[in-house]
Amino acid sequence: MPDTPKPGVPKLQPVTLHHLGEALRRGGRDMRRAPLWGLFFGATYVVIGWILAWITIATGQSYWLIFAAVSFPLFGPFAAVGLYDVSRRIEQGRPLNPRAILTVILRQSKRQLPSICAIIVFMLLFWFFLGHMIFALFLGLSTMTNISSSYEVFLTPNGLTMLAVGTAVGAGFALLLYMITVIALPMLLDREIDFVTAMITSFQTVTKNFGPMLAWAIFIAVATFVALIPGFLGLFIVLPLLGHATWHLYDQLAYGEAGSG
C-alpha cells in the first residue's frame, strides 16, 4: 500500500543549497498543479488569524494572543501533513483524491503527530512565561498606565534592553523549534517511527548541515513575516509554497534527486 508508512529512519543525504532551490522549484510546481488544495490549507491559517485579530481588537484583551500561540501549532502540523500528502501524490503520479488526502490527515491524529504538537505548544507556552518574566525584570517598576498607549517606555534604556534580550531569547526558542520539527514533521508522515526519534533525527540533520538549514530557516521566517503584513493574506501563497517545499526537501534528502516517486 503506497500510504503505508515505511519502517525506520531513512539515511538522509547532506543538505546543499541546490536541495533548497530544487525544493522551492518543486513546491511552486505543486502549487500550480493543485492550487485549490493550497488555498484550502492556507485558508485555515488566514481565517484563524483574522478571528483572533478581530477578537483582540474588539475586546482590547491581549490575552487572546495566547490562544493564537496555542491554536496555530495545533492546526499547523495537520495542515502541513495535508500539503505533504498532496506533494507526495503528485510526485508518485497518484490522483489527488479529496477523501484520501483528508483521511491521511485524520489518521495522523491516531499516530505520533499529536505528541509533537504537544511539545510545540509546551515550548510556546514556556516562551510566553519567559516573556512575562523578561518584561517584569526590566520594566516591572516602570510607570505605565496602559501598555497599548505607553510605547515610549520601550525607548528607555531598560525598554531597549528588554527588547534586545526578549528578541534573542525568542530567536533561540524559534531556532530550537525549527530544528526539532523541520525534518520530523514530514518524516512522521512517511515513516512509522516515534516522535522522539523523529525530533532527534531532525535536530541532528540541522546541526550537521547548519549553514544550508539556517538559510532555509531565515527564508521561512522572512517569507512568513512578509506574508503576515497584508492582513494575513500572504499566507494564501507562502504557506502552501513552504508546505510543498518542505516535503520536497525531506523527500530529496531521504530518497535522492528522483524523490520517492
Q: 16-51 in b/e burial notation, b at 16+ Cβ within 10 A? A: eeebbebbbebbeebbeebeebbebbbebbbebbee
Q: Which tens digit of pLDDT belongs to each residue from 133-145?
A: 888 887 766 655 4
CA angle 259, 235, 62 (to 5 degrees): 130
Domain ranges of the chain: 6-255
Beta bridge partners of residue 191, listed in sequence order: 6
Q: How many CB atoms lie within 10 A of CB 252?
A: 23
Mean pLDDT of all residues in 190-214: 95
pLDDT at 1: 45
Q: How confident is the model at residue 148 (pLDDT cuts 50, 70, 90)?
A: low
Distance CA 186, CA 189 (A): 5
Mean pLDDT of all residues in 141-154: 58
Q: How confident is the model at residue 85 (pLDDT cuts 50, 70, 90)?
A: very high
CA dihedral 174, 180, 185, 187 (to 10 degrees): 150
**Contacts for 73 with CB less than 8 Å, ≥ 6 apart:** 117, 120, 121, 124
Q: Which tens digit of pLDDT belongs to each residue from 162-174?
A: 888 888 888 888 8
Question: Pick the residue with more confidence: 256 or 30?
Answer: 30
Mean pLDDT of all residues in 214-224: 93
Q: 214: burial class by Cβ within 10 Å (0-12, 13-18, 19+)?
A: middle
Residue 235 has pLDDT above 70, yes or no: yes
SS (H, E, C) 82-116: HHHHHHHHHHHCCCCCHHHHHHHHHHHCCCCHHHH
pLDDT at 94: 92
Q: Give the global pTM.
A: 0.84
Q: 237: burial class by Cβ within 10 Å (0-12, 13-18, 19+)?
A: middle
**DSSP state, residue 27:** H
Distance CA 227, CA 46 (A): 10
- Lowest average pLDDT, out of 11-25, 77-91, 125-139, 182-196, goes to 125-139
Q: How confident is the model at residue 35 (pLDDT cuts 50, 70, 90)?
A: very high
Read off φ and ψ for residue 192, nearest 5 degrees: -95, 85
Amino acid at 38: G
